[in-house]
Amino acid sequence: MSYPLRLVDERPLPADYDGPVHVWDVDQTYLDTDLSSLAGMLRIPLEMAIDKRTIPGVVAVLRECRRGPGPRPASVPLYFVSASPPQLEGVIRRRMLLDGVEPDGFVMKDQLALALRGAFRRLRTQVEYKLTALWSLIAVLPPRARLVLVGDDWESDASVFARLAAVQAGELAPDALPEALAGAGVADPPALVELARRAQGRARVESACVLLTRGRDPSAFEAHRPVVRAAREAFQLAAVLLDGGFIAAAGAARVARRLREARGWTRAAFVESLADLSARRLVSDETLVVLRDALP
């Protein structure tokens, strides 16, 4: 039984494209969505675009991802994978329009189809959906595209990113997926294995990061290093992207200025963030020097 989802690709890329493709989660990565309470979850479909809040500093990071690392805007491909139903796509698009974020496509979880099938357990589990969504997206991307994945620590994004990277790099055989995902609530392993087999070797993962919006200890994600890195906030996320060559130093400086002007970050806050980056060896020493020079 195939997993029901909606995939929209509004920018078919040339078959020989070998540049980065950013793929971001939406809830608790871009939008500050309350997933911790029943009241918060019930409020999600009723909110208008103007009511939806964003994670501090993340909009500035998204704009830099789109801009790219060069001196001129490059319109780097940007896609979103959301566990929200397709019925909310319009609201999310309007929020992005307000923020000046330009998506090239979406993958969204068809929760209504799951409910009509009586697959209520699959409504709550995310690993199967996220892997299905990412491999479905990979199927429409150029085979040499380089994936830059950004998620959160609310679900299972770190383990999903690590498994995806291992399959794409040929380090984990698709047939070994059921064992590797034991206990993750995957209801249809054969379908997932077939998707993985078709996608293996295409669009490898070049960078993956989770944003610690719940304030979880980064040590919880050490098992997924070096594939997945954990950023405490938007400035550290910008640092990881700068370290990978996906945004410019000037872009990281713009993110820092946004945090200072709109969120009241002090120089002491930036210095503390840099010290944590250094202590966890999240970025290179060279990147740390560039970031220090870029502080507002």
CATH number of the domain where residue 205 is located? 3.40.50
Find out whether 292 and 239 touch, Cβ atoms under 8 Å. no
What Å distances lie between residue 6 and 119, 133, 155, 157, CA to CA? Answer: 17, 9, 20, 19
Decide if 57 is inside a domain: yes
**Rg of the Cα trace of the chain?**
18
Q: Is 255 within a domain?
A: no
Chain segment 44-74, per-residue pLDDT in tens: 454 545 557 889 999 999 999 999 999 999 9
The band of 235, judged by pLDDT with boundaries at 50, 70 and 90, is very high
pLDDT at residue 39 is higher than 60? no
CA atoms within 13 A on the CB side of 38: 0
175, part of any domain: yes
Q: Give domain status of residue 271, yes or no.
A: no
> What is the pLDDT, as a whole number, of residue 46?
44
pLDDT per residue over 67-103, tens digit each?
Answer: 999 999 999 999 999 988 888 899 899 999 999 999 9
Residue 111 lies in a domain: yes
pLDDT of residue 125: 72
Instruction: With respect to residue 274, please indicate whether it lies within any of the assigned structural domains.
Output: no
**Is residue 262 in some structural domain?**
no
pTM score, whole prediction: 0.92
Q: Which domain holds residue 129?
A: 5-234
Q: 167 or 38, which is more confident?
A: 167
Q: Does residue 167 fall inside a structural domain?
A: yes
Question: What does the longest C-alpha to C-alpha distance in the chain come to?
Answer: 56
Number of domains in the chain: 1
